[in-house]
């Protein structure tokens, strides 16, 4: 299959990529309309849904007096942390039993399960980034957040989180189809693994032994990178892009073959 793909004429390859691009855009629009409705207020929830979670947490932490600590304001810290955490959780959730939930779409000749997962991931990434930008602009306008130190680093961290969540989602999608009870374990697993996401702390705040442990988690690198781009030199942050990329390639190497097995088994039934 790969050999045939590489040896395909350039015109045919370009045409195939164009068709699949249109398919993914159509799937994104369908997913957005089915999730948020057909009216303008429904589309508004693409921006408002992730924003409400971050806003509620920021309000509670501010009222409780935890609005400052470790040299950074809690409001920008929470906005950055919960935006990334929401993206990670949603990327995992949309992959659960993805084959069963999208089975009706697979009857279309040009639609593949991989296209559906890419479209869902792209929509989650776009809506999450849009809500973060809107919240940031509002808070920056009122003086709660200083200007971003390095927007390119933040964008890179967001794209890496999208890639990481999507590649991990391949494994989730396959396993939840091959082992049905596994679908009920995904959400509890996300809660149990919260301490190793890096959402509630910076690595520099931890004791040295704990730093060595949490840095094994690729999620910690992503949170560090995103907040490092926001705060810059005002906050010590440590991350490795190559380390996260290695995890992404590893999940893809596991998830893509498993997904093919799951799809064949699903088609057999």
- Average pLDDT of the chain to the nearest whole number: 80
Output the six-digit token pair for 144. 């709660």
Least confident span in 111-120, 165-174, 215-224 = 111-120
Q: What is the pLDDT of residues 53-73, one digit of tens each?
A: 666 766 776 666 555 555 677
Beta strands 68-69 and 72-73 are antiparallel
Could you tell me which residues come within 8 angstroms of residue 246 by beta carbon, excluding any fewer than 6 positions away?
A: none
- Among 176, 237, 198, 256, residue whose Cα is nearest residue 82: 198
Q: What integer is the mean pLDDT of 1-10?
A: 46
pLDDT over threshold 50, residue 3: no
Torsion, Cα 60 66 69 71, to 10 degrees, reads 60
Q: What is the pLDDT of residues 182-235, one digit of tens each?
A: 888 998 989 888 888 988 888 888 898 999 999 999 999 999 999 999 988 777
Number of other CB atoms surrounding residue 114 within 10 Å: 16
Domain map of the chain by residue range? 2-268
Global confidence as pTM = 0.83
pLDDT score for 262: 83
pLDDT score for 127: 84
Q: What integer is the mean pLDDT of 256-267?
A: 82
């Amino acid at each position: 299959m790969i050999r045939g793909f590489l040896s395909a004429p350039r015109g045919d390859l370009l045409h195939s990529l164009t068709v699949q691009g249109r398919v993914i855009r159509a799937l994104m629009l369908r997913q957005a309309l089915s999730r948020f409705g057909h009216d303008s207020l429904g589309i508004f929830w693409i921006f408002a849904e992730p924003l409400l979670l971050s806003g509620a947490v920021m309000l509670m932490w501010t009222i409780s007096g935890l609005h400052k600590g470790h040299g950074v304001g809690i409001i920008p810290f929470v906005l950055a942390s919960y935006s990334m955490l929401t993206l990670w959780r949603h990327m995992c959730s949309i992959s659960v039993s993805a084959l069963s939930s999208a089975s009706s779409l697979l009857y279309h000749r040009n639609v593949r399960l991989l296209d559906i997962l890419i479209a869902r991931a792209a929509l989650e990434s776009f809506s999450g980034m849009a809500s973060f930008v809107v919240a940031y602009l509002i808070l920056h306008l009122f003086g709660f957040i200083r200007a971003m130190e390095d927007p390119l680093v933040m964008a890179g961290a967001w794209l890496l989180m999208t890639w990481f969540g999507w590649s991990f989602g391949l494994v989730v999608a396959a396993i939840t189809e091959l082992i049905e009870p596994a679908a009920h374990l995904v959400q509890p697993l996300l809660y149990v693994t919260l301490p190793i996401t890096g959402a509630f702390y910076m690595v520099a705040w931890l004791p040295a032994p704990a730093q060595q442990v949490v840095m094994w988690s690729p999620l910690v690198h992503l949170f560090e990178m995103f907040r490092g781009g926001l705060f810059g030199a005002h906050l010590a942050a440590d991350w490795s892009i190559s380390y996260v990329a290695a995890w992404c390639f590893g999940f893809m190497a596991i998830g893509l073959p498993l997904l093919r097995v799951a799809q064949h088994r699903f088609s057999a039934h």
